[in-house]
Amino acid sequence: MAPQDWQPWQTAAFLDAQRRRRPVLLLLDAEWAPAAAEAHARVFARPDVAAVIGDRTVPVRVDVDRRPDIADRYGLGQWPSLLLLTPEGHVLTGGTALDDTLAERLRAAADAYAAQGRPDASWPAAATTAVPGDADAAGADDLLQEVRQAVEAPETLGLAAPVAVAALCAFAQAAVARDPEWASLAASLLDAADEPSLDPDAVADDAPAPARLDDQAEWVRVLSRAVRLEPLPSWQAHLHRRLAALRALRRPDGHWRPWAGAGRVVLVDASARACRALLAAAEALQDDDLAAEAIEALEVLAPLAYARGAGVSHVIDNGQAHGPVLLDDAMALAQAVLDADQWRDESVYRDLADEVLQTALGRLAHPSGALVDRVATMAGAGQVGRLSAPHVPIVGNAEAARVLVRLHGHDAAARERARRIVVAAAAEAGGAGVFAAPLGLAWIGLDPAGTATAAW
């Protein structure tokens, strides 16, 4: 299928599916994912596949980087993910195995829907989106052990950014609990990390994906902390290499490329994390020029991304903010400006961080105590299917709790709210493995002995 044959996620697509009594074929892919490019070149370009898609479904394509709220609710664990939905947005079936049998499987599933309104059994049913219920602190304590078990699994090491955060969590636990086993775990994760490419446009033939801003930023941040704790020459050298790879993703206009070879799009959460990484490196290396570079990037990013009273946008494209207003972006920006505050004499950054935090707490609170990812819209495609249900993001909730502690840690009520956020979000994070590391890090920061780690 040609790119123009796919519709965006919009009201018209679902109304068209209702009118024509067809299922919606939802494709979730990523520009940087080689498997997605291969699927378009080898599978969707096949005449039999294109014919059954065009004749039997309403095809909708979503870029997961531009619409992470859709990806979080419908994704099947890797990109591309392909799902068949009812015209109301409910999942019939889906999978990630896109091969030569796709046309046959799509035809059978579309026939089953047309005849009975239910899925064909050849694809597994997609997972549902959970919302946390009642939870207690034991669940949050269990997260640390879950993260520890997950990072010790060999297959985990391919998850660059999540493993970096897990290493930071391990360093924090080692420092607070004075536990040498956690320190050893953190060191082993650093030593096992892959080295970055210094050319942001160079991708090896066997590389799984181009260099991504999130990955480089998180590793610079954890290596900066590691060097401050113990300035081993190997860690210092690794930090300098990662820092060079990160800075290679900076664009001439001051924004950050979200991955090697990306166009003009700016992802706010990844860019804020890159600014945080530069500030962490500035502190570790005692380099004022790095701090000035980070603040310059924040001064470009923040005015475009944040709208007072509304929140922080996810995407900046051609100088304009677009996309959903999501919790993860808001908290990433709040953490970045808080990091920058110590390099400025006035309190403008601290005030901005508090404003962003209070907007999120006021607009995104869930009865469980956690925060949801977005404000639900009243109608249209923004309220179709799983988008009508609240979703609790792990990273956004962890960072919200940490920002609360950083800004209002002296206030008992604020610390209690931070604790409730982590505990409630932990109810959803069960089974998340290494991806639960941000909540583990937030939980450590709630300990009086770990308050300083809220800024890590």
Give the pLDDT confidence of 332-381 residue by residue, as tens digits. Answer: 999 999 999 999 888 899 999 999 999 999 999 999 999 999 988 767 88
CB 95 within 8 A of CB 82: yes
Cβ atoms 57, 13 nearer than 8 A: no
What's the mean pLDDT when you consider all of the chain?
90
Measured from the Cβ of residue 209, the count of other Cβ atoms closer than 10 Å reads 17
Q: Is pLDDT of 236 > 80?
A: yes
**Confidence grade of residue 1 (pLDDT, cut at 50, 70, 90):** confident
Q: Mind listing the pLDDT tens digit for each residue in 176-189?
A: 999 999 999 999 99
- Residue 115's pLDDT is 87
**Looking at 128-142, 212-226, 244-258, which range is the least confident one?**
128-142
Provide mean pLDDT across the span 148-169.
80
Whether the upstream peptide bond of residue 80 has omega within 30° of 0, thus cis, is yes
pLDDT number for residue 37:
94
Tell me what pLDDT residue 156 has: 60
Q: Do 55 and 22 touch, CB atoms closer than 8 A? A: no
| pLDDT score, position 135 | 54
For residue 149, give the H/E element and its range: helix 137-151
First and final C-alpha spacing in the chain: 46
Q: Percent of the chain at pLDDT above 90? A: 76
pTM: 0.92
Identify the residue with better confidence: 196 or 124. 196
Residue type, 267: L
Residues 390-410, mean pLDDT to the nearest whole number: 97
CA angle 286, 288, 294 (to 5 degrees): 115
pLDDT at 158: 59
Average pLDDT over residues 103-115: 93
Q: Where are the alpha helices (DSSP H) in 306-436?
A: 327-341, 348-364, 394-408, 412-429
The pLDDT value recorded for residue 153 is 72
Smallest Cα–Cα separation from 402: which of 355, 332, 350? 332
Whether pLDDT at 205 is above 50: no
**pLDDT-based confidence at residue 431 (cuts at 50, 70, 90):** confident
Identify whether the C-beta of residue 186 lies closer than 8 Å to the C-beta of residue 167.
yes
Q: Give the pLDDT confidence score for residue 211 in this predicted structure.
A: 87
Query: What average pLDDT score do residues 232-241 get?
Result: 95
For residue 6, which phi and psi values (nearest 5 degrees)? -90, 135
